[in-house]
Structure 1
Amino acid sequence: MKKVLTPFILFSLLLVFTNCKNTNNNTDVSKENPSVQITDEALLDSVQRRTFNYFWDGAEPTSGMARERYHIDGEYPLDDANVVTSGGSGFGIMAIIAGIDRGYVTREEGVARMDKIVSFLEKADSFHGVYPHWWYGETGKVRGFSDKDNGGDLVETSFLMQGLLAAHQYYVNGTDTEKAVAARIDKLWRAVDWNWHRNGKNVLYWHWSPEHSWEMNFAIHGFNECLITYILAAASPTHGVPAEVYHEGWAENGAIVEPHTIEGITLNLRYQGTEAGPLFWAHYSFLGLNPTDLKDKYSPNYFEEMKNYTLVNRAYCIRNPKGFKGYGENAWGLTASYSTVGYAAHEPAERGDHGVITPTAALSSIVYTPEESMKVMRNLYSMGDKMWGKYGFYDAYSETDNWYPQRYLAIDQGPISVMIENYRSQLLWKLFMSHPDVQNGLKKLNFGSPSLK
């Protein structure tokens, strides 16, 4: 058992300490017994710090990149435990920036890590400047995601670039070392050939392979997690796509607008293949892209749309039509994660609900539903070692099946840390939205936002 402080004086001192913002040391209040009441701010900092450490202490050592997964139980489904991920590393870059800013590591340590990551990306396999989903971290050689998915992955590349552009803004006016890293990031950004992934049409395609060309044939239509892909494609100063690609491809000439009501809550957009999908659709594009009062011709307010989308997910879990154990106001959140049926994109529909709650779902929604998400965070924290490990909350659990695997996924851990920071300071939103190319891309697509100058 973890220690419990029983003397009144020591307990009082602990509470005073946890109310203080920690910026210059590595004290983790979460090392105390979860039964000890701590402030929201202290709990947020503990969760953010531990998820940051997934990308810091837990990074693949040669590349500095984020491991695709990390299993405390030691069982890996991949043929190499050091497989690294492009999209998850983009999330991790943002988590590291926030960690530097909060003093979890020094600024010098942070830029050294960013230098290592950029050095890896400069030499790693890419295809028309587009990165694959996975590499082997020791060599930078592509590790196929599937038989035909062994080349460029435009969506994962957009998640990586979202993080790199935020890092660029963090460093562009810094020391000479930091400015040099920012300049190298700019070269990586300019090398991505977004236009190539049109395959000659007014739509973006997810995959291209040197062996299989366009055989995956996966045109990206909305709404799902890929809004950021289209915005960055429009924003590129070197290989950008015309606005028509967004309007005809992503929005399908307006067919993306489909007002409907689910769980008594109104949604304005059409969600691909479902009335409301997994919650990561409300997270991945908005780690850097600030949804606050963001609008275009298809949505009058992306923040309100994503908030309602989150509330639908929560309301479904509270209604709990399949009667799973443990669902409720303190335990909700369906999204893609490990599952009792393998890996699954859990969603608020009976066919997509397997009784599995995934912490990143509610925790990464804290920008939309702060009070509701904090209840889930406190409930998870109260579960102690069953859910709380060295890199934060484990990926998923099921009370119904008494299933508590001690495993982590980069794409689930990253949004927790990033969205907690955006909730606390809006740091990553401010950085990404300040990039001149991002500003130009949003204007090109006729977006409105208070962040546009």
Structure 2
Amino acid sequence: MKVLKLNIIAFLLLTLAACGTRNKTTEGTVQQSPQSLEDSLLTQIQYQTFQYFWEGAEPTSGMARERIHMDNIYPQNDQDVVTLGGSGFGVMAILVGVERGFITREQALERYRKIVDYLAKADRFYGAWPHWLDGPSGKTHPFSKKDDGGDLVETAFMIQGLLTVAEYYKDGNEAEQQLVADIQQLWEEVDWTWYTKGEDVLYWHWSPNYGWEMNFPVGGYNECLIMYVLAAASPTHSIEPAVYDKGWALNGAIANDTVYYGLNTVLNFYEHGDDPTGPMFWAHYSYLGLNPKGLKDKYADYWKLNQNQALIHYRYCVDNPKQFKGYGENQWGMTSSYSINGYAGHHPGELDLGVISPTAALSSFPYTPEESMRFLKYLYLEADSLVGKYGPYDAYSQEHDWYLPRYLAIDQGPIPVMIENYRSGMLWDLFMKNKDVQAGLRKLGFESQYLTK
């Protein structure tokens, strides 16, 4: 794998020219002011990853393409395929674009109008959208043979993003308030109770052709906490707490933690394999909006949960028990991403394949700011061949001398959002101020600083 070194002085000039602070003009350009190297790097990567969802969007829907391959190889026949979850992350990334002065509030509103109008007409199944849509038509693009209907998890990721957007615009002008009302309608139309199948658990999928044959009850810790919170928060189709306690929390078994690399896992990751921790996206997807700081219920302290998971990944890579080339203080973090043989759910232990996925460390900035900054500096100051138009490529391996200039929406999306939560807390503050969300958290017995205001 070719690794290029970039002259630091030249790099600073480039980044400072491309990315400034939040001093915006009415045209959406940025007026520059001095930044530290660290701030410049953060703004640069936010700008590049934001562009995946802005410039790189599918034109009819305005939503995120499932993938963008800069090498124009496999599969280029899916450029019309848009992803629900990745687009949910993307609508939050667009707010980062406004906050950082990359676009104006008005430009964002225009894009949101396109997305919300599209979603209102797209295929839905008891209010839930499918995992993938065909961008031009709004019809379902099956994720697999039987996964051709509603996907409640992907829908939750989209609703998380839309509710955040609604909070941003709720006190705005007439056009902005109409957007908020239309988002509220989409939110209220999701029938979360249908997806319980009358049981005390939420099911991931339902198909008009195959019914419940996918048979995926969602329980035990993973990326889906946000789905249960939103299901409890719904003002129209709310689940009962028993669905959370019996289904998601497995009658309390979710809290059977262990110790790994000197840190408590806090919750039980063993439900999903033989290794005591999971891929890092579990600490990101639900927490783009849910603020884990001070967030607790009878099962976990969610800040400790996520910070410990990130630190376990870091300590594991520094220890490097499989002796993979490149692992260490400057290169760490594993998650589900492209891999040396297709796609894999990398994490410490058996599924450590010698592949680093940049989103793992970069989206962990709130939890591990020093460790994440070391990785960011490595990418941009020492290994710029691993960075392209839309930020760091999806994955790489020095051990296998491998990387591809390819991107996935679900990996790029958390980067600008979680970095913004680290820098300003903006997305956390917006989402957590939503009154429906607060009601759902109270219903499930959560504690949070936002519930005392």
TM-score (norm 1): 0.93
Task: Establish whether residue 275 from structure 1 lines up as the match of residue 276 from structure 2.
Answer: yes
Measured against aligned partners, the alpha-carbon deviations of 1:112-164 in whole angstroms (never above 9, x if no partner) come to 00000001101100100001000111110100111100100000000000000
Deviation at 1:311, TM superposition (A): 0.7
Q: CA deviation at 1:212?
A: 0.4
Give the CA deviation at 1:97. Answer: 1.0
Does residue 89 of the first structure (1) align with residue 87 of the second (2)? yes
| Deviation of the 1:103 alpha carbon | 1.5
Report the counterpart of residue 120 of structure 2 in structure 1. 122
Compared with structure 1, are the counterparts of its residues 391 and 110 closer, same or farther at alpha carbon in structure 2 (3 Å cutoff)?
same
Aligned to 1:47: 45
Q: Is the 8 A contact 1:318 1:332 kept in 2?
A: yes
Q: Which residue is 1:217 aligned to?
A: 215
For the structure 1 residues 28 and 331, does the alpha-carbon distance in structure 2 shift closer, same or farther, using more than 3 Å as the test?
Answer: farther
Q: Offset at 1:15?
A: 9.6
Task: Describe how 1:404-423 pairs up with structure 2 within 5 A.
Answer: 404-423=403-422
Partner of residue 110, structure 2: 112
In structure 2, distance between residues paired with 1:50 and 1:82: 21
Q: Secondary structure at the match of 1:256?
A: helix
- Letter paired with 1:307: Q
For 1:12-411, list aligned pairs within 5 A: 21-24=21-24, 26=29, 39-77=37-75, 79-271=77-269, 272-273=271-272, 274-299=275-300, 301-349=301-349, 351-411=350-410
Shift of 1:79: 3.7
Distance 1:135 1:17, change over 3 A: closer
CA contact (8 A) 1:386 1:404 kept: no
Unaligned runs of 5+ in 1: 30-36
Say whether the 8 Å CA contact 2:19–2:30 is kept in structure 1.
Answer: no
8 Å Cα contact 1:247-1:254 kept in structure 2: yes
Q: Is the 8 A contact 2:296 2:302 kept in 1?
A: yes
How far apart, CA to CA, are the structure 2 residues paired with 1:391 and 1:207? 31
CA distance in 2 between partners of 1:46 and 1:310 (Å): 23
Q: CA deviation at 1:22?
A: 4.4
Kept in 2, the 8 Å contact 1:132–1:151? The answer is yes
Encode CA deviations 1:183-216: one digit per residue, 9 max, x unaligned: 1000000000000000110000000000000001
The amino acid that maps onto 1:186 is: Q
| Residue pair 1:18, 1:38 contacting (<8 A) in 2 also | no
Distance apart, 1:179 and its partner CA? 0.6
Counterpart residue type for residue 298 of structure 2: K
What's the secondary structure of 2:403's corresponding residue?
coil
Following the alignment from structure 2 to structure 1, what is the Cα–Cα distance between the partners of residues 176 and 395? 37
Distance 1:5-1:78 versus aligned 2 partners, 3 A rule: closer
Q: Distance in 1 between matches of 2:285 and 2:331?
A: 22
**Residue identity matched to 2:385:** K
Please state whether the residue corresponding to 2:257 is helix, strand or coil: strand
User: What CA distance in whole angstroms lies between the structure 1 residues aligned with 2:379 and 2:399?
Assistant: 16
Instruction: Indicate the SS of the match to 2:449.
Output: coil
Letter in structure 2 aligned against 1:406:
P
Structure 2: distance between partners of 1:12 and 1:212: 55
Structure 2 counterparts to residues 6-17 of structure 1, below 5 A = none
CA positional deviation for 1:259? 2.5
Q: Kindly provide the amino acid, as one letter, of the partner of residue 139 in structure 2.
A: K
Alpha-carbon offset, residue 449 of structure 1:
0.2
* Partner of residue 437, structure 1: 436
| Paired AA for residue 145 in structure 1 | F
Write the letter of the residue equivalent to 2:290.
L
Aligned length: 441
1:16: Cα distance to partner? 8.5
**Structure 1 residue 383, shift from structure 2 partner:** 3.7
Give, as a single letter, the amino acid of the residue that structure 2 aligns with 1:339: S
For 1:19-55, what per-residue CA distance to the aligned partner results, in whole angstroms no more than 9, with x for missing partners?
96243265699xxxxxxx9611111000001100000
* Contact 1:130–1:192 (8 Å) recurs in 2: yes
TM-score in terms of structure 2 length: 0.93
Please identify runs of 4+ aligned residues in structure 1 that moved more than 3 A: 1-6, 10-20, 25-29
The 1-side partners of 2:264 and 2:374 are apart by: 24
